[in-house]
Amino acid sequence: MGESEHPARALVLVVEDEAVIRMDLAESLGDAGFDVIEVANAHDAVAVLAVEPRVAIVVTDIEMPGSMDGWDLARLIRDRWPPVHIIAVSGRQVPQFGDMPDESQFFAKPYDINRLVKAARAYLS
């Protein structure tokens, strides 16, 4: 099988302001077979989405510094990049009606990384 015949790995964008959590999540997703890009806030996530068409899934924290939180990011993704799947995580907030776009998922921190990876894989099947 030639190089071009290998299937591309799905690309996950991890948006998390806490560096240790971001790195751990990125490492776990990478170990699970995903390509990963890490950013620390929603504005950087939008910049990546604008130039990287391979992003299939965004895993975003809800509470982040800056003028855009994870709820705002999720709605913007649904409006601008509808094929991108969204997984939101938070240790303090839970989604209320209308916070999250349809077909997105929420995990409360601390979450089971294996369940999150399974949810990400399910989006791609």
Residue 108 is part of a domain; what is its CATH number? 3.40.50.2300
pLDDT one-digit tens code per residue, 50-59: 999 999 999 9
- Identify the domain containing residue 24 by its residue range: 3-67+86-124
pLDDT one-digit tens code per residue, 71-106: 999 999 999 999 999 999 998 877 777 667 778 899
- Residue 101 in any domain: the answer is yes
pLDDT one-digit tens code per residue, 21-37: 999 999 999 999 999 99
* Sheet strands (E) in the chain: 11-15, 35-39, 55-61, 85-90, 105-108
pTM of the model: 0.90
Q: What is the pLDDT of residue 102?
A: 77
The total number of structural domains in the chain stands at 1
